[in-house]
Amino acid sequence: MTWSNRGLIFRCSDYKIAGNEILFAQSPQPVNLGDRIRVFFCTRLRDSPTTWISHPAFVDYTHDLQHVLESPQLVKIAPPILGSFDEHGIFPFHPHLSDGLFLAYSTGWSRRQSVDVETGIGLLQSFDQGLSFVRVGDGPVLTASLYEPYLVCDPWVVRDESNWKMWYLFGTEWDESLDSEDPQRVYKIGKAESLDGRQWVESKGQASVPDVLGPKEAQALPSVRHKAGRFEMIFCYRPHRGFRIPGNASYNLGFASSVDGNTWNRDDQQVDFPLQDFDSQMRCYPSWFTLGESDFILYNGNEFGKFGFGLAQWTK
């Protein structure tokens, strides 16, 4: 029993979006709409010759994720207000369906002068199955706090009978140890809880998942499922330095499990499966989901998803 690598199922160069070439298709996250699987991802739009704005998009698949039903399109979201937490883009974009509500938790980006960016987690709602979203408010539902001073991002929400749980990232350091690079982000996975999905109590700097590369290991995109009384998480992690340079060690997939959602046991071997060309150097931004009897991971490969996203399937 292991994951089989089905390769790059969405290749950016095969499509256009709003008439333009697709720059990146990052953090694929699916929802089951009944007649189709809608995979949200974030692409990049240029706002100057040297800068990008990330923006959510989606592409629709058949249930076996073999065939694209409709070409990708941008999600319609009103422009952010000046000075807001998401004014320079949204990435990742986490759809969450519950109680008949079509919600999305966003990571909003805004540029800073002393470091490149600050982030926060926003909440949006769709009334047309995800074609467009409106912000529930202009501000974030979760952002920097006393023990989580910056870079709150990458939300993943699981709802059960009692409350809402969110796994997400908080920054622990802007690492300045490398003279040759700008300060680099170090973040860990935290857990927040909420009674209404809007007001969240954060993890107060308590990292959920043990690290294997030391305290400067950066962990990202905790995709969590709750099944048979157990929480299981597939995420990605990387070293704190050199990870943007092709050929160096960069993001790989990690795995952890927990009985109570608070104490996690790490076992990355659970997501060790054969490489293909597209993910030969990097695997990142995993999204774990179940369709019928099958488990899948959608994720990005080399260069943080510049070329598209791939699929792994659990085979018995």
CB 313 within 8 A of CB 296: yes
The answer to the question of residue 123 lying near another protein (CB under 8 A) is yes
Query: Is 83 a residue that touches another protein (CB under 8 A)?
Result: yes
Q: Which residues of 205-221 are buried (b: 16+ CB within 10 A; e: fewer)?
A: eebbbebeeeebbbbbb
Instruction: Select from 97-105, 114-122, 243-251, 286-294 the region that touches another protein (CB under 8 A).
Output: 114-122
| DSSP letter string, 126-156 | ESSTTSEEEES-SS-SB--BTTB-EEEEEEE
Q: Which of 149, 226, 242, 289 forms a contact with another protein (CB under 8 A)? A: 149
Which tokens in the block code for residue 61? 């698949």
Distance CA 110, CA 4 (A): 38
Spatial neighbors of 33 by CB under 8 A, at least 6 apart, are 60, 129, 130
Tokens matching residue 104: 């999305």
- Of 164, 171, 152, 277, whose CA–CA distance to 218 is shortest? 171
Does 9 interact with another protein (rule: CB under 8 A)? no
Query: With CB under 8 A as the contact rule, which of the stretches 91-99, 109-117, 218-226, 307-315 interacts with another protein?
Result: 109-117
Residues that contact another protein, how many (by CB under 8 A) = 37
**Integer angstrom CA distances of residue 261 from 81, 128, 146, 291:** 36, 33, 22, 23
**8-34: b (≥16 Cβ within 10 Å) or e:** bbbebeebebeeeebebbbbbbbbeee
Q: Name residues contacting another protein, limited to 161-200 (CB under 8 A).
A: 171, 174, 176, 183, 198
The interface with another protein within residues 206-265 (CB under 8 A) comprises none
Q: Which of 112, 230 has the CB closer to another protein?
A: 112
Confirm if 309 and 298 have CB atoms less than 8 A apart: yes
Among 130, 140, 155, 190, indicate the residue that binds another protein (CB under 8 A). Answer: 140
Is 48 a binder of another protein (CB under 8 A)?
Answer: no
Which conformational region is residue 247 in: left (phi greater than 0), alpha (psi within -120 to 50 degrees), or beta?
left
Nearest residue (CB) to another protein, 145 versus 313: 145
* 148 binds another protein per the rule CB under 8 A: yes
List the one residue from 34, 48, 82, 180 that touches another protein (CB under 8 A). Answer: 82
* Cα-Cα-Cα-Cα dihedral sign, residues 112, 21, 66, 40: positive
Distance in Å, CB of 41 to another protein, minimum: 25
Binds another protein (CB under 8 A): choice among 16, 111, 230, 244: 111
Minimum CB–partner distance for residue 35 and another protein (Å): 33
Q: How far is the CB of 118 from another protein (least distance, A)?
A: 8
Comparing CB distances to another protein, the nearer of 111 and 230 is 111
Which of the ranges 13-21, 39-47, 130-138, 271-279 carries the binding residues for another protein, by CB under 8 A? 130-138
Contacts with another protein, residue ranges (CB under 8 A): 81-85, 87-88, 110-115, 118, 120, 123, 136-141, 143-151, 171, 174, 176, 183, 198, 205
